[in-house]
Amino acid sequence: MPLLKLEDTYLHKGKRRALVAELRAKGIKSERVLEAINTLPRHFFFDSALISHAYEDKAFPIGEGQTISQPYTVAFQTELLDIHPGDKVLEIGTGSGYQASILHLLGAEVYSIEYQKKLFEGTQRFLKRLGIETKLFYGDGTVGIPQFAPYDKIIVTAGAPVVPDALINQLKIGGILVIPVGDRKSQSMLKISKKSANEIIREEFQGFAFVPLLGKDGWK
């Protein structure tokens, strides 16, 4: 990877501020989330050929048929998670590592799992190089990561056909799960708050489009 890619110029910083203004105009309210997006150079997570698009509010390919989520979607999901420093957070779908890095900047202890081996290996190497400390795993995140459960927050960054039971089980009481659920093309964002061992509250927000969640409780 050329070193040039890790240069954060005034041009990049300016484009990033404009992106943050765009996200604010689209309804993102959390100043902490906006500040994290303003801090983290999204172009570091892009293929060299696509770098000039890094500050557009769009999803882009990251290899293996997968995408880095649209900035608005990252901001929306992160806002719903209501991250506090020290929160133990599980992410399903590490992909480029951008969302995991935003969670890290907000002070979370991040566990993230990825189903595509090549992406897992590349992103693990890359986040280490950036000095961003996260615990990354290779495997099927629809079963969660039971050995480190329970989590304060769980975020799924691929579109699910159903809410996997394992994820609700691995959530602390008082915890929040944010997951897009729907068909293969479009999903609603669900915010599931676990009130007690057998009581949850569900809120739903429409109009999202993710790559499919695969694995045991994902698409076949």
Residues with catalytic annotation?
A: 69
Q: Which of 66, 73, 124, 170 binds ligand SAH (CB under 6 A)?
A: 66
Binding footprint of ligand SAH, residue count (CB under 6 A): 25
Are 123 and 114 within 8 A, CB to CB?
A: yes
Does 127 bind ligand SAH (CB under 6 A)? Our answer is no
Cα(144)–Cα(146) distance, integer angstroms: 6
Cα(25)–Cα(18) distance, integer angstroms: 11
Place of tokens 């329970």: 150
Does 215 bind ligand SAH (CB under 6 A)? Our answer is yes
Q: Which of 20, 33, 75, 113 binds ligand SAH (CB under 6 A)?
A: 113
**Least Cβ distance, residue 139 to ligand SAH (angstroms):** 7
The encoded tokens of residue 150 equal 């329970």
Cα(173)–Cα(132) distance, integer angstroms: 28
Q: Which of 41, 71, 141, 180 binds ligand SAH (CB under 6 A)?
A: 141
Residues in the chain: 220
Are 16 and 37 within 8 A, CB to CB?
A: yes
**Least Cβ distance, residue 128 to ligand SAH (angstroms):** 16
* Residues found near ligand SAH in the complex (CB under 6 A): 66-69, 92-93, 95-96, 98-99, 113-116, 119, 140-142, 157-158, 211, 213-215, 218
